[in-house]
Structure 1
């Protein structure tokens, strides 16, 4: 679909938002009705789907294309090739960027952190009953993971003030999850490690005298992620007994994600 049709569809969508019918809006802006309806329903065009496979994001390609057009109109343009030291000098000129080692993260985890979910979280934290809970009784438990055979040898560019960069991808390797919990005043629990498998195997652990993980919690699941049974056992055997306040009248707050294992009747 051409640019003119896309611009027409955008104007027609505004018309529908203001109360005009789809038929009238598509006719007014000369937009094919089937295409227009698909745009309203949020169905992406083939060009938009192809953007996911592009090496460079479309917005950057557009800026580059405009620069090429302008240089052509000016009759100039750069004939210089990028040298071996161009990246090094580029970083020296832009101190807001530096090189990091990337940390792999499954795309499903990263995609869950949307503006909508974050808004819901902070709205609930503002409830007066929640704000009365002491910081020592506020806990956040989360699950992060690592992929077997996936090292940290990715070098990427990112904002200089950050400590690491997350690399989002749909990896197909075996996954190992770590459930960590920490209080608002910095008190941390021993982690729960979830392997992919049926049973925890002795050969998964190094045979050394120094075993700092001896008191950690270990279990397995089919995909290396938490599930309803694991979540409930962690709640009963780890969280509840380790967070019991000295004053039984004090409330506790546990902040967790919306995974279905955390929303069962037994867990709640």
Structure 2
């Protein structure tokens, strides 16, 4: 049962042994139940066994904590902090609803008005290492093609991409890996493994 991930509790061993003994009995004589110290004596008779305290874990989590994953996690602990990176995206709204002065009745209680303003979002993909080194960002414009006049001030090393929504997608994420992450981290790693932590990117 231990091999199946559900070892027998020591307190249940005597009753289990008693049940087996009654089934195997070939006489009509009543079988005596084991005493309180039977489990300890059983363990002494079988030195390949040992008692151990284990904590309860939900089966859904237990299935995820398989041996290979635990070994892989242990190996990741050897990766240096400067080779561990976290990337995420943040949005900047270009058009926002503001307040304007209007003329209306002094009895009118409304302090807002309807406005048809298109909210345009620009996304920046940012990445930082565990030791605090940041990579140059990638800016994603909401368009089908990028125009050079969108960048007013010089931003050496910055990268640009476009999407209809202004958000990142799988294609842009892959481009970011090729154009930004790999070139800016490969030399730093010096052929050592790198870890990239990201959320929600296929």
What is the TM-score of this pair, normalised by structure 2? 0.51
- Residue 150 of structure 2 corresponds to 204
Match of 1:149 among 72, 81, 95: 95
Task: Kindly indicate whether the alpha-carbon contact (under 8 Å) linking 2:83 and 2:189 is maintained by their aligned counterparts in 1.
Answer: no
What is the TM-score of this pair, normalised by structure 1? 0.39
- Residue 12 of structure 1 corresponds to none
CA distance in 2 between counterparts of 1:183 and 1:152 reads 37
Structure 1 residue 192: deviation in Å? 0.3
Q: Secondary structure at the match of 2:125?
A: strand
CA distance in 1 between counterparts of 2:144 and 2:155 reads 20
CA distance in 2 between counterparts of 1:150 and 1:241 reads 36
CA distance in 2 between counterparts of 1:179 and 1:144 reads 7
CA distance in 1 between counterparts of 2:139 and 2:164 reads 13
Name which structure has the greater RCO, CA cutoff 8 Å, separation 6+.
2
- Residue 190 of structure 2 corresponds to 247
Would you say 1:228 and 2:170 are equivalent positions? yes
Structure 1 residue 131: deviation in Å? 1.9
CA distance in 2 between counterparts of 1:243 and 1:215 reads 14
Give the number of the structure whose alpha-carbon radius of gyration is greater: 2
Map 1:121-160; keep pairs closer than 5 Å: 127-150=73-96
- Residue 27 of structure 1 corresponds to none
The gaps in structure 1 that reach 5 residues or longer are 1-119, 154-170, 264-268
Aligned residues: 116
Residue by residue over 1:17-56, the C-alpha shift from the partner in whole angstroms, topping out at 9 and shown as x without a partner, is xxxxxxxxxxxxxxxxxxxxxxxxxxxxxxxxxxxxxxxx
Q: Secondary structure at the match of 1:231?
A: helix
RMSD: 3.0
* Higher helix fraction (1 or 2): 1
CA distance in 2 between counterparts of 1:228 and 1:186 reads 26
Task: Kindly indicate whether the alpha-carbon contact (under 8 Å) linking 2:87 and 2:196 is maintained by their aligned counterparts in 1.
Answer: yes
